[in-house]
Amino acid sequence: MNDIVLSIEDLRIDYASDPVVHAVAGVSFELRRGEILGIAGESGCGKTTLAYGITQLLKPPAEVVGGAVRFLGGDQPVRVDELEGAALRAFRWDRISMVFQGAMNALNPVLRVRAQLEDVLTTHRPTMTKQERRDRCEHLMRVVGVPAERLDAYAHELSGGMRQRVMIAMALLLDPPVMIMDEPTTALDVVVQREIIAEITRLRDELGFAVIFITHDLPLLLEISDRIAVMRRGEIVELASTRDIYHRPRDPYTRELLAAFPSLTGERLEYAGAATSTTEEGA
């Protein structure tokens, strides 16, 4: 049985500015069933543009100008980049879901959480009864660790961690084989970040979906990912197992990213300008 659920082939995305910006410049990779594939790189390297291109969420002036996105997790292969209209709406969330960066902005501020979750089910599972929708939403809230009564809250009444968990619950509503997570722990404190990461890995282990996890935090990906793709200037410069990325990085940029994070156990290093600054202040 083929264990590939998503195949990206030479995907190219441009921003139609003057001059044209080649935001994603020929990216190719495959996503396996149940794996966490981390995508790391500095801000502006094309990570989020790549995610939006895969899910057809790009807005002008961004445009896919070449390549293919194939979903292989169903009975028949699907060219995601060729889907339009009703076919695209039916595919998205059902086969590939997404957890967006900034949950407060992703949730509708004037609708209760329950209405937003149930709307997904009403759209994609029209045969479900009202009670079945209610039960499904309450179940998913418990799965992600949020009390079911918080379904009646508005987004601003939830903590940052709860909002992010609600977004994960929304992404899981239809049991998609693939979930894309774009900086899901951004703007959360470190304790909540740890809780969210633990929740993601636990759910992946229990439910078996594959994850594309996008972040600039390479040490985080070293902890949770099966494989890591390192992006720079719209290209993947290295793609390897987490072990190989950590112990045997091949690309100089990957080595630079690894060296950018201080060790907790190595020798203490001091900033070269510290002594000069202290002297000047004392003078």
pLDDT tens track for 121-163: 999 999 999 999 999 999 999 999 899 999 999 999 999 889 9
pLDDT at 132: 97
Q: Tell me the pLDDT tens digit for each residue of 70-112.
A: 999 888 999 999 999 999 999 999 999 999 877 667 899 999 9
Q: Which residue has the tokens 């900086």?
A: 183
Q: What pLDDT score was predicted for residue 277?
A: 41
- The fraction of the chain above a pLDDT of 70, given in percent, is 91
pLDDT at position 209 over 70: yes
Asked if pLDDT for residue 276 goes beyond 60, the answer is no
The beta-strand segments (E) located in the chain are 4-15, 21-32, 36-40, 62-71, 78-79, 96-99, 178-182, 210-215, 227-232, 235-241
**Ramachandran bin of 208, using left for φ above 0, alpha for ψ from -120 to 50, beta for the remaining angles:** left
Task: Report helix, strand and coil shares of the chain as percent, to nearest 5.
Answer: 40, 25, 35
pLDDT band at 270 (very low <50, low <70, confident <90, very high): low
For residue 267 the two structure tokens come to 């020798």
Residue 229: predicted pLDDT: 97
Predicted local confidence at residue 216, as pLDDT: 87
- For residue 183, pLDDT over 50 is answered with yes
At 210, is the pLDDT very low, low, confident or very high (cuts 50, 70, 90)? very high
CA–CA dist 145, 127 (Å, integer)? 27
Categorize the per-residue pLDDT at 269 as very low, low, confident or very high, splitting at 50, 70 and 90.
Answer: low
Q: Measure the CA–CA gap between 245 and 239, rounded to whole angstroms.
A: 8
Q: What is the mean pLDDT of residues 18-22?
A: 93
Residue 228 CA from chain centroid, whole number: 13
Half-sphere exposure of 280 (CA within 13 A, CB side): 5
pLDDT band at 221 (very low <50, low <70, confident <90, very high): very high
The position carrying tokens 């759209």 is: 123
pLDDT confidence of residue 264: 63
Please give the pLDDT value at position 217.
Answer: 87
Q: State yes or no: pLDDT of 275 exceeds 70.
A: no
pLDDT in tens, 55-68: 999 999 999 999 99
**Strands, E assignment, 83-171:** 96-99
Asked if residue 11 lies in contact with residue 28, where contact means CB atoms within 8 angstroms, the answer is yes
**How confident is residue 3, by pLDDT bands cut at 50, 70 and 90?**
very high
Residues 6+ apart with CB under 8 A from 222: 228, 242, 245, 246
The answer for residues whose C-beta is within 8 angstroms of residue 204's C-beta and 6 or more apart is 34, 36, 211
Q: What is the mean pLDDT of the chain?
A: 89
Tokens of 161: 């961690």
Residues of the chain above pLDDT 90, percent: 72
